[in-house]
């Protein structure tokens, strides 16, 4: 009896060993024995944990313990996938929702579709493969879930991953010589970069703004950093009160910007030349501009205004009082179109914020005079335009006067710019120029109206004379024929 138990025990042990041998991935078993890097890394790979075998990507027979048989082409062994075969190997599962479910994954399966249209889905230099492969960003044998700190695309790691190529001038110039390679450097100077370096995974990193699989050129309307879409991209975080609470920064910038002259131009009129968030704050090196540098930031577009301001007495006064330059009068995110109402001493004027008849009365008087001059030019332009319009309505030729009206309008615009010199004589010079042209236009328009009246009266007189002559001829005929 004892012998029978003994034999049965041996049989069971042999059966167990055979079952274990049959279930064990022979690729892992063998390569672990060799101690190579892929097999070492693969032990931590999410794929290994989910039951994906080496053979699922490399082909071959995972059950064969004979290497020649396991890596035989007859058993579908493909070797190390190269070029686009890497992506093909990945999408074998990642493009197939049903297959992904069998591994217990709820990951999306549209990565390749997005990737194929992206800038990285373009063809590489040799034209034989896509610019990037899955492994370029995610690694090969040590692939971790995106949420894992060991993943190369984890928020604190992705910066390095992207910069592998994007900070390499030799590599980048092969694809786009004009594309800067200093994004990483700038990013480190930004508040985003600083916090990211401290391990903050909430702040914006490359993928937060550019996306991951669906990255397009910023000039591509599909891109999340395309000028029109950029404010919404930034506001994903910056309008999130909960998220911003701990940083103690406001969350109404987008709302204010959308209602501003810049926001309306960009978001409503789709004028991509209008400034978005990055035009003032920078993009990779995003930071709020310093108080003294605001005029330089605004001056990138409003160059003349900035120059005039810099050489005006206000520059020194603002610097001393630490007033933010352009922002003090025009606000920052909620910049509305500048009207004449901004200047002067009446209600709504910005000058009276600092100037009063009692304190700094010189500036108060200057503001009063400048507003008066602006109003005078504006009224003169309106009057000249009305005269020209009246003459036009009456069918008179006033093309030249109408053309000159543009000069008056131009002078008024110029005067608004000249406001930033905060010098009455300089301002008066521009106003006088506009007033002179406006007077000429009014004179020409009035001349056309006089001519119109002259034509009407002239016609009356001419018709009267011709009718009188006709009457005389008629009477003469009658007298002649009575004889």
Query: In the window 290-329, what residues touch other proteins (CB under 8 A)?
Result: none
Minimum Å gap between C-beta 450 and other proteins is 13
| Cα 119 to Cα 451: distance, rounded to the nearest angstrom | 67
Q: Which stretch binds other proteins (CB under 8 A): 7-15, 403-411, 426-434, 475-483?
A: 475-483
Determine, following the binding rule CB under 8 A, whether residue 470 of this chain makes contact with other proteins.
yes
Minimum Å gap between C-beta 404 and other proteins is 13
User: By C-alpha distance, which of 391, 395, 352, 358 is closest to 370?
Assistant: 352
* Cα dihedral value 438, 444, 450, 451, nearest 10: -160
Minimum Å gap between C-beta 459 and other proteins is 4
Minimum Å gap between C-beta 293 and other proteins is 47
Determine, following the binding rule CB under 8 A, whether residue 15 of this chain makes contact with other proteins.
no
User: What are the structure tokens assigned to 56, written together?
Assistant: 């699922």
- Which residues are within 8 A (CB) of 161 and not within 5 positions of it... i.e. 6 or more apart? 137, 152, 153
Minimum Å gap between C-beta 440 and other proteins is 15
Q: Give the chain's radius of gyration (CA, Å).
A: 39
Going residue by residue from 387 to 416, which x/- string records binding to other proteins, judged by CB under 8 A?
--------x-xxxx----------------
Report the residue from 199, 480, 482, 483 that binds other proteins according to the rule CB under 8 A: 480
Q: Are 251 and 241 in contact (CB under 8 A)?
A: yes
Cβ atoms within 10 Å of 271's Cβ, excluding its own = 13
User: What are the structure tokens assigned to 257, written together?
Assistant: 């910007």
Determine, following the binding rule CB under 8 A, whether residue 463 of this chain makes contact with other proteins.
yes
Task: Return the number of the residue (69 or 455) whose C-beta is nearest other proteins.
Answer: 455
Minimum Å gap between C-beta 311 and other proteins is 44
User: By C-alpha distance, which of 64, 60, 73 is closest to 30?
Assistant: 64
Task: Return the number of the residue (76 or 458) whose C-beta is nearest other proteins.
Answer: 458
Q: Which stretch binds other proteins (CB under 8 A): 38-46, 190-198, 246-254, 452-460?
A: 452-460
| Cα 347 to Cα 344: distance, rounded to the nearest angstrom | 9
Q: Are 452 and 340 in contact (CB under 8 A)?
A: no
Cβ atoms within 10 Å of 110's Cβ, excluding its own = 13
Determine, following the binding rule CB under 8 A, whether residue 459 of this chain makes contact with other proteins.
yes
Q: Are 54 and 27 in contact (CB under 8 A)?
A: yes
Minimum Å gap between C-beta 466 and other proteins is 5
Task: Return the number of the residue (16 or 399) whose C-beta is nearest other proteins.
Answer: 399
Per DSSP, the residues of 62-91 read TT--SHHHHT-GGGT---S--THHHHHHHH
Going residue by residue from 261 to 280, which x/- string records binding to other proteins, judged by CB under 8 A?
--------------------
Which residues form the interface with other proteins (CB under 8 A)? 395, 397-400, 455-456, 458-459, 462-463, 466-467, 469-470, 473-474, 476-477, 480-481
């Amino acid at each position: 009896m004892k012998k029978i138990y003994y034999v049965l025990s041996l049989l069971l042990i042999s059966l167990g060993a055979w079952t274990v041998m049959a279930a064990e991935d022979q690729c892992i078993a063998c390569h672990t024995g060799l101690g190579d890097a892929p097999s070492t890394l693969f032990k931590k790979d999410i794929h290994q944990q989910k039951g994906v075998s080496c053979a699922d990507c490399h082909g071959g027979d995972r059950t064969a313990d004979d290497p020649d048989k396991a890596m035989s082409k007859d058993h579908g062994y493909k070797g190390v996938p190269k070029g686009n075969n890497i992506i093909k190997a990945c999408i074998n599962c990642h493009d197939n929702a049903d297959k992904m479910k069998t591994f217990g994954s709820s990951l999306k399966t549209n990565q390749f579709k997005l990737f194929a249209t992206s800038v990285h889905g373009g063809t590489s230099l040799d034209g034989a493969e896509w610019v990037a492969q899955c492994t370029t960003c995610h690694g090969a044998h040590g692939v971790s879930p995106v949420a894992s700190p060991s993943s190369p695309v984890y928020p604190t790691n992705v910066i390095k991953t992207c910069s592998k190529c994007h900070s390499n001038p030799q590599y980048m110039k092969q694809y786009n010589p004009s594309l800067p390679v200093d994004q990483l450097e700038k990013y480190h100077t930004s508040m985003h970069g600083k916090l990211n370096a401290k391990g903050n995974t909430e702040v914006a990193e490359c993928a937060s703004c550019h996306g991951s699989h669906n990255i397009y050129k910023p000039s591509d309307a599909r891109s999340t950093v395309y000028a029109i879409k950029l404010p919404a991209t930034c506001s994903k975080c910056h309008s999130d009160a909960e998220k911003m609470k701990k940083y103690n920064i406001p969350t109404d910038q987008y709302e204010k910007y959308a209602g501003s002259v810049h926001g309306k131009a960009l978001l409503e009129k789709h004028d991509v030349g209008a400034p978005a968030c990055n035009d003032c704050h920078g993009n990779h090196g995003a930071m709020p501009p310093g108080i003294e540098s605001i005029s330089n930031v605004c001056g990138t577009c409003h160059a003349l205004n900035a120059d005039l301001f810099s050489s005006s007495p206000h520059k020194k006064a603002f610097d001393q009082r630490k007033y933010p330059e352009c922002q003090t009068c025009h606000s920052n995110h909620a910049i509305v179109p500048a009207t004449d109402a901004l200047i002067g001493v009446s209600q709504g004027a910005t000058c009276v914020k600092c100037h009063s008849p009692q304190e700094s009365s010189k500036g108060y008087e200057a503001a009063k005079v400048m507003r008066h001059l602006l109003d005078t030019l504006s009224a003169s332009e309106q009057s000249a335009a009305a005269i020209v319009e009246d003459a036009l309505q009456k069918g008179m030729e006033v093309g030249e006067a109408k053309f000159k009206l543009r000069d008056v309008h131009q002078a008024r615009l110029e005067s608004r710019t000249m406001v930033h010199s905060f010098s009455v004589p300089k301002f008066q010079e521009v106003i006088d120029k506009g007033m002179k042209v406006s007077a000429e236009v009014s004179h020409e328009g009035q001349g056309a109206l006089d001519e119109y009246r002259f034509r009407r009266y002239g016609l009356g007189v001419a018709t009267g004379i011709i009718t009188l002559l006709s009457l005389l001829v008629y009477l003469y005929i009658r007298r002649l024929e009575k004889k």
